[in-house]
């Protein structure tokens, strides 16, 4: 884990010369959608490994410098920038919430910072000190604190990311990187706003053992676009990936982890085997479910078993989870062989209760006994 003992650097501030007009902003905030509009500012920090003729491994050597809050806008990139050729890119996703008392909080930002560095290590990128990550996110939110949606369930979605910016075509880790944080007012993630989603089991593989499945990197998403488009074309909302070796064990959706609620009061979720993304929502829900007295088993679960358990009634609910959509009930599952319905096809009681508990902690409406809520204003 990378931490820094040194004091945090001060962030330079360049206010936007022409921020969005108040009435435009109000219209966006009343109907934000997801990920389509961005706030007035962004955070930018640069990394240089230094020494232009060195071996070129940047981990551990080099420095992050010039942290700044600047007007949101295009960034200039050399056409040879490494990210454009070999996809050295990682990202995070977290939300800032407006609390009932007017304050602002982040949910478990240190967990995002730690996961960001785990992703960085896998992609041979430099780690960002965790407290610098959290401070960058805080600076971003405070710069655009009048950008919180006014709709029910709204939040400010934050996207920290890092990419290789050195101009070269040799295959080795870049010696220069950019870290940015951008923010987007967010409403509901699923376009349809459906209470339960329909998912399609893909024949494609998302991640193989030893690959990058546990890293939050853009490349994983690039590889998931064709399977996702296929799911959409067949009328489903999301794509489900099975394991690479046997094509039998359930892994996760394109960007969400999965849970299975059994009639006996236990909950199953696939283990962190290295091929799925260790979701912070996943981990939080495991904790909350155990507090409710549910037995949570992190265990492999096969597609055939899921189908059989849904038919027999041994399984009563399933849901997907992730920061963007929080908790989303799964109503229907399909593959090329046919489809099956989960429970009544709508949101189940355990799913709704866990969702409500998590959301009320995130929004400061329920006591936070875990130190998850990180107040910044």
Which residues of this chain interact with ligand PLP, rule CB under 6 A?
A: 93, 216, 252, 255-257, 277, 279-282, 322-323
CA 218 remoteness from chain centre: 11
| Residue 41 or 95 having the CB closest to ligand PLP | 95
Nearer to ligand PLP, 25 or 216 (CB): 216
H helix runs in the chain, sequence order: 22-30, 83-86, 109-122, 130-143, 218-233, 280-291, 303-312, 349-362
Q: Tell the smallest beta-carbon distance from residue 224 to ligand PLP (Å).
A: 8
Identity of the residue, 280 or 373, whose beta carbon is nearer to ligand PLP in the bound complex: 280
Beta-carbon contacts of 257 under 8 Å, excluding residues fewer than 6 positions away, are 269, 270, 276, 277, 279, 281, 282, 320, 321, 322
CB of 321 to ligand PLP, least distance (A): 6
The 10 Å CB-count burial string (b at 16+, else e) for 281-303 is: bbbbbbebbeeeebebeeebbeb
* Nearest distance from C-beta of residue 270 to ligand PLP, angstroms: 11
Min dist CB 281 to ligand PLP, Å, is 3
Nearer to ligand PLP, 186 or 280 (CB): 280
Cα–Cα distance, 91 to 161 (Å, whole number): 4
| Tokens describing residue 285 | 């829900």
Q: How far is the CB of 14 from ligand PLP (least distance, A)?
A: 30
Residue whose CB is less far from ligand PLP, 165 or 323: 323
Task: Tell me which residue of 108, 113, 173 sits closest to 372, measured CA to CA.
Answer: 108
SS3 154: coil
Nearer to ligand PLP by C-beta: 71 or 219?
A: 219
Q: Name the minimum Å distance from CB 277 to ligand PLP.
A: 3
Residue 376 and residue 148 in contact, taking contact as beta carbons nearer than 8 Å? no
């Amino acid at each position: 884990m990378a931490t820094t003992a040194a004091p945090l650097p001060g962030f330079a501030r360049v206010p936007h010369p022409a921020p969005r007009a108040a009435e435009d902003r109000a219209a966006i905030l009343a109907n934000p959608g997801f990920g389509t509009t961005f706030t007035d500012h962004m955070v930018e920090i640069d990394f240089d490994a230094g020494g232009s003729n060195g071996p070129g491994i940047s981990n551990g050597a080099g420095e992050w410098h010039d942290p700044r809050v600047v007007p949101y806008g295009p960034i200039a990139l050399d056409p040879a920038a490494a990210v454009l050729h070999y996809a050295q890119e990682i990202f995070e996703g977290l939300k800032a919430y407006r609390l009932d008392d007017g304050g602002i909080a982040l949910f478990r930002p240190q967990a995002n910072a730690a996961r960001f560095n785990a992703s960085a290590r896998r992609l041979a990128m430099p780690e960002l000190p965790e407290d610098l990550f959290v401070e960058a996110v805080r600076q971003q939110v405070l710069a655009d604190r009048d950008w919180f949606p006014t709709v029910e369930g709204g939040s400010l979605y934050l996207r920290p990311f890092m990419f290789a910016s050195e101009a070269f075509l040799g295959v080795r880790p870049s010696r220069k990187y950019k870290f940015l944080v951008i923010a987007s007012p967010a409403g509901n993630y699923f376009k349809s706003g459906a209470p339960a989603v329909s998912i399609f089991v893909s024949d494609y593989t998302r991640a193989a053992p030893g690959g990058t499945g546990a890293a939050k990197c853009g490349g994983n998403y690039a590889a998931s676009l064709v399977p996702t488009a296929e799911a959409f074309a067949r009328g489903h909302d999301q794509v489900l990936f099975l394991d690479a070796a046997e094509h039998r064990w359930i892994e996760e959706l394109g960007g969400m982890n999965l849970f299975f609620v059994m009639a006996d009061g236990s909950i199953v979720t696939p283990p962190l085997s290295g091929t799925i993304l260790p979701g912070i929502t996943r981990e939080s829900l495991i904790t909350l479910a155990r507090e409710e007295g549910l037995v949570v088993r992190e265990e492999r679960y096969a597609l055939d078993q899921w189908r059989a358990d849904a038919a027999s009634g041994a399984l009563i609910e399933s849901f997907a989870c992730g920061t963007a959509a929080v908790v989303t009930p799964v109503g229907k599952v399909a593959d090329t062989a046919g489809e099956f319905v989960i429970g009544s096809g709508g949101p189940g009681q355990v799913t709704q209760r866990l969702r409500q508990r998590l959301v009320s902690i995130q929004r400061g409406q329920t006591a936070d006994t875990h130190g998850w809520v990180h107040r910044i204003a």
